[in-house]
Structure 1
Amino acid sequence: MSASMLRSSLRGAASAAPFFPIFLDQLPNAVLIFEAESRQVIYVNPAAESALEISRKSLEGQTIGTVFEDNAVLNHMINEVMMSPSLLQRQEISLHSLPGSIHHESGPAHVVINALDDPSLILMEWFPIDQQLRSERDERVTQQVEANKQLMRNLAHEIKNPLGGIRGAAQLLEFELEEKGLREYTQVIIKESDRLQNLVDRLLAPHRKAHVMQMFNIHEALERVRSLVLAEFPKGLTIDRNYDTSFPDILGDREQLIQAVLNIAHNAAQALSEEIRTGIARIEFKTRVARSVTISKQRYKLAIDLHIIDNGPGIPEDIRERIFFPLVSGREGGSGLGLTLAQTFIQQHQGFISCESRPGCTDFHIQIPYRKVEKIA
Structure 2
Amino acid sequence: MLTHAKQRLKNPIMHAWIADRTKTFDSSGIRKVFDLAAKLTDPINLSIGQPDFDVPVEIQDAAIAAIRGGKNAYSPTQGIAPLREALRAQIDAQYSHADRDVFVSSGTSGGLMLAMMAMVNPGDEVIFLDPYFVMYPALLKMCGGVPVAVDSYPDFQLDPDKIAAAITPKTKMILVNSPANPTGVSATAEQLEAVAKLAAKHEIALVSDEIYSRFQYDAPFVSPASFNDQTIVIDGFSKSHAMTGWRVGYVHGPSEIMATMLKIQQYSFVCSPQPSQWGALRAMDIDLQSYIDDYRVKRDMIAEGLSGRYEFTLPGGAFYLFAKAPGGMGGEAFVKRAIERGLLIIPGNIFSDRDTHFRISFAASNETLKKGIKMLQDLHDELT
TM-score, length of structure 2 as denominator length? 0.21
Larger Rg: 1
Normalised by the length of structure 1, the TM-score is: 0.22
Higher relative contact order (CA 8 A, sep 6+): 2
